[in-house]
A and B are shown apart, each in its own frame.
Chain A
C-alpha cells in the first residue's frame, strides 16, 4: 500500500475544485477512511466526510440536499454485503441506491455525481483509490450546475 499519489495543487487560488460529500458508515467505511489516514495514504482533499451509523441510515434526501447545496458529487460507502454491523442495513440500502441512481440518471443528472461503493475497515488503500477516482471523474465533469439552488 505504499503507492504515491500526487495531490494536485489548485491551478490558482480560488480556482474551482471539486467538492465531494462522502457519507461513510461508522463501522466499515469510516474506519477504512481512518485507516487510510493513519497509514498515511495520500488521497485528494476534495472529499468532505459525514459519518452515519449505517448505509441503511441514508435517506436519498440527504444526497439530493447535498447536491442542491452545492456539492459537485456525493459518495456513499458502507460495509460489504454480509458484513453489515446491523446484519442487513447495507442490503436494504442497496436496493434504494440502485433505484436512486437510475432515477437521477434518467432525470439527466450525470451518473458520476452520485456514487455508491463498499469499503471495509481494513481497506484504507481501496478507500483512497476510490476517492481519487471519484474526484478525477468529477473534475472532468466540471462544477455541478443541475439541481444547485442559486442563492
Chain B
C-alpha cells in the first residue's frame, strides 16, 4: 500500500500543475478540518494554494456532490446569452466517487469534457465515528497512519493510541467492490483490488432471512431515530433534482414531520429514487446525524438491479440509465397472473 503522504504530495503537484497551466478553473479536493478525524471539501482556484490539499484516511466525502451545481444550465434562453461559459473542474475521485461521476455523465448532469478527474486508488476510508467510539472518553488531538495503514491517534494526555484499520473502516468501504476509479485522467497510486465482493450481499441476505414482520419491526426501530433533517438527501451526489418531491407542498407527497409512517415513506421513496443510480459511496449513512444505516434499503435495490437487469450504476459512461431504458424481455415474474 502506498502511504497517504506520498499520494498527498503527488496530489498537490497534480493540482498545482493543472491550475498553473490553466487546464482547470477550479480544483476540488480536501483540506484539513478542525477535528483530527475529519476533512473539509476545498475549492481551489489559485495554484499557489495547492499545498492546502490533504490526503488521509478521512477523505471520505464524495466530492461529486458539488459537480451538478457547477454546471447548472441557465434558466432560459435570455439567461443563456449572458451566462459565463461552464468552468473546467478538476476533482479528486476515489473508486466510488468515480462511479458517481460516471452516473452524473450518464444522466447528462456534468459534461465529461469539462472535467479533469484525478483518481486515487482507494484502500478504504475510515469512519470517524467508529474511531471516536473506539477511543471512548478520550478526545483525539491528532491523527496519523503507521506503515500498515493503522490509525495512530494522539489523545488528550499526550499518549498515542493505535486503532486497527480493519476495525474502523467505513461500512461502505468494507462492502466496496470498485476501489480503483474506473474513469480518470490521472491516477495516483497503484490499482487496489476489491477486498471481498459479496459483503453487501451477505448483509442483505442476513436481513432478508428474517420473517416479514421482523424486518418491518427492525426497519421501524431503525427509522424511529430519523429527525427528517434531509442530510442523506443533501449528501447524495445523485440527489440533484431542482424540484424535489420532498419540497413540493401541492400536493405534499410526504408529511414533513417525524410521524413514523411519513418517515418510512420518506426512506422508501428515497431508496427507490436511488434504484439503478446509487454508487454505494455511503455518503448518506455518513451524513446521518442519528446514525441510521441509510443504505439498508438502497443496498438491497442495488443488488436487485444487478440480478434482474444485469445493470450496475456508474459502470459505463455510454450506458443508458436503467430506468430510462427498457426491453421487451425484461423480467415480469413479479406480475399477478402474467
Asked if A101 and B334 make an inter-chain contact with CB atoms under 8 angstroms apart, the answer reads yes
Question: In residues 204-260 of chain B, which contact A (Cβ within 8 Å)?
Answer: 204, 207-208, 212-219, 245, 253-255, 259
Contacts A100-B272, A147-B264, A147-B265: A107 and B326 contacting too (C-beta < 8 A)? Answer: no
Identity of the chain A residue whose Cβ is nearest the Cβ of B328 in the assembled complex: A81
With both chains docked as a complex, state the minimum distance between the C-beta of B307 and any C-beta of chain A, in angstroms: 9
Q: Is A148 an interface residue (CB 8 A)?
A: yes
Which A residues are in CB contact (< 8 Å) with B304?
A: 99, 102-103
Which B residues are in CB contact (< 8 Å) with A39?
A: none
Which B residues are in CB contact (< 8 Å) with A99?
A: 272, 275-276, 301, 304-305, 308
A110-125: CB near B (< 8 Å → 1, else 0) gives 1000011110000000
Which B residues are in CB contact (< 8 Å) with A102?
A: 300-301, 304, 308, 334
Which B residues are in CB contact (< 8 Å) with A101?
A: 334
Which B residues are in CB contact (< 8 Å) with A118?
A: 335, 338
Q: Is B262 an interface residue (CB 8 A)?
A: yes
Q: Once the chains are docked, how many angstroms separate the CA of A95 from the CA of B309?
A: 9
Asked if A82 and B259 make an inter-chain contact with CB atoms under 8 angstroms apart, the answer reads no
Asked if B216 and A98 make an inter-chain contact with CB atoms under 8 angstroms apart, the answer reads no
Interface residues on B, range: 35 or more
Identity of the chain B residue whose Cβ is nearest the Cβ of A90 in the assembled complex: B326
Contacts A99-B304, A103-B301: A91 and B216 contacting too (C-beta < 8 A)? Answer: no
With both chains docked as a complex, state the minimum distance between the C-beta of B151 and any C-beta of chain A, in angstroms: 34
Identity of the chain B residue whose Cβ is nearest the Cβ of A93 in the assembled complex: B326
Which A residues are in CB contact (< 8 Å) with B268?
A: 64, 103-104, 107
Identity of the chain B residue whose Cβ is nearest the Cβ of A110 in the assembled complex: B212
Q: Once the chains are docked, how many angstroms separate the CA of A129 from the CA of B337?
A: 10
Q: Is B297 an interface residue (CB 8 A)?
A: yes
Q: Once the chains are docked, how many angstroms separate the CA of A61 from the CA of B327?
A: 24
Q: Is the interface of B mostly helix, strand, loop or mixed?
A: helix
Contacts A106-B208, A106-B215, A130-B337: A91 and B330 contacting too (C-beta < 8 A)? Answer: yes
Asked if B336 and A92 make an inter-chain contact with CB atoms under 8 angstroms apart, the answer reads no
Q: Once the chains are docked, how many angstroms separate the CA of A121 from the CA of B159?
A: 77
Q: Is A49 an interface residue (CB 8 A)?
A: no
With both chains docked as a complex, state the minimum distance between the C-beta of B87 and any C-beta of chain A, in angstroms: 35
Question: In residues 59-80 of chain A, which contact B (Cβ within 8 Å)?
Answer: 60-61, 64-65, 68, 75
Q: Is B323 an interface residue (CB 8 A)?
A: yes
Which B residues are in CB contact (< 8 Å) with A64?
A: 265, 268-269
Which A residues are in CB contact (< 8 Å) with B259?
A: 149
Which B residues are in CB contact (< 8 Å) with A108?
A: 212-219
Q: Is A35 an interface residue (CB 8 A)?
A: no
Contacts A95-B323, A103-B272: A149 and B297 contacting too (C-beta < 8 A)? Answer: no
Asked if A91 and B272 make an inter-chain contact with CB atoms under 8 angstroms apart, the answer reads no
Q: Once the chains are docked, how many angstroms separate the CA of A88 from the CA of B301?
A: 23
Q: Once the chains are docked, how many angstroms separate the CA of A104 from the CA of B213?
A: 12
- Complex partner residue of B308 from A98, A126, A148, CB under 8 angstroms: A98
Interface residues, chain A, CB within 8 Å of chain B? 60-61, 64-65, 68, 75, 81-82, 88, 91-92, 94-110, 115-118, 126, 129-130, 133-134, 146-150
Other than the given A116-B336, A118-B335, 12 more pairs (CB < 8 A) read A61-B269, A64-B268, A95-B323, A95-B330, A102-B301, A102-B334, A103-B271, A106-B207, A106-B300, A115-B336, A116-B335, A149-B262
- List 21 A–B pairs whose Cβ atoms lie within 8 Å, in order of A's numbering: A60-B269, A61-B269, A64-B265, A64-B269, A81-B328, A92-B324, A98-B308, A101-B334, A102-B304, A103-B297, A105-B212, A107-B268, A107-B297, A117-B337, A118-B338, A130-B336, A133-B336, A133-B337, A147-B264, A149-B261, A149-B262
